[in-house]
Amino acid sequence: MAIFLHHGDLPDDVDLGSSIAVDSETMGLLPHRDRLCLVQLSSGDGNAHLVKFDGKNYDAPNLVRQLGDPERLKIFHFGRFDIAVMEHYLGVTCAPVYCTKIASRLVRTYTDRHGLKNLCQEILGIDISKQQQSSDWGADDLSEAQMEYAASDVLYLHQLKSRLDEMLIREGRVELAEQCFRFLPTRAKLDLAGWMDTDIFSHS
DSSP lists the bridge partners of residue 6 as 51
Residues 6+ apart with CB under 8 A from 165: 103, 174
* Residue of 107, 111, 82 whose CA lies nearest to 94: 82
Given a contact cutoff of 8 angstroms between Cβ atoms, the answer to whether 113 and 86 are in contact is: no
3-state secondary structure of 5: strand
pLDDT for residue 189: 97
- pTM exceeds 0.95: yes
- Residue 5, pLDDT above cutoff 90: yes
Given a contact cutoff of 8 angstroms between Cβ atoms, the answer to whether 153 and 140 are in contact is: no
Torsion of CA 120, 125, 126, 128, to 10 degrees: 50
3-state secondary structure of 11: coil
Number of H helices, E strands in the chain: 7, 6
pLDDT for residue 1: 84
pLDDT for residue 123: 97
Whole-angstrom Cα distance, residue 161 to residue 4? 23
- Residue 132, pLDDT above cutoff 80: no
* Residue of 59, 68, 61, 53 whose CA lies nearest to 22: 68
Average pLDDT score over residue span 175-198? 97
pLDDT for residue 100: 98
**DSSP 8-state assignment for residue 42:** E
Which domains, from first to last, does the chain contain? 3-195 (3.30.420.10)
Tell me: the pLDDT tens digits for 78-93? Answer: 999 999 999 999 999 9
- Residue 133, pLDDT above cutoff 80: no
Whole-angstrom Cα distance, residue 190 to residue 179? 17
pLDDT for residue 147: 96
pLDDT for residue 170: 98
Tell me: the pLDDT tens digits for 14-55? Answer: 999 999 999 999 999 999 999 999 999 999 999 999 999 999
- Residue 58, pLDDT above cutoff 80: yes
Which H or E run includes 172?
Answer: none
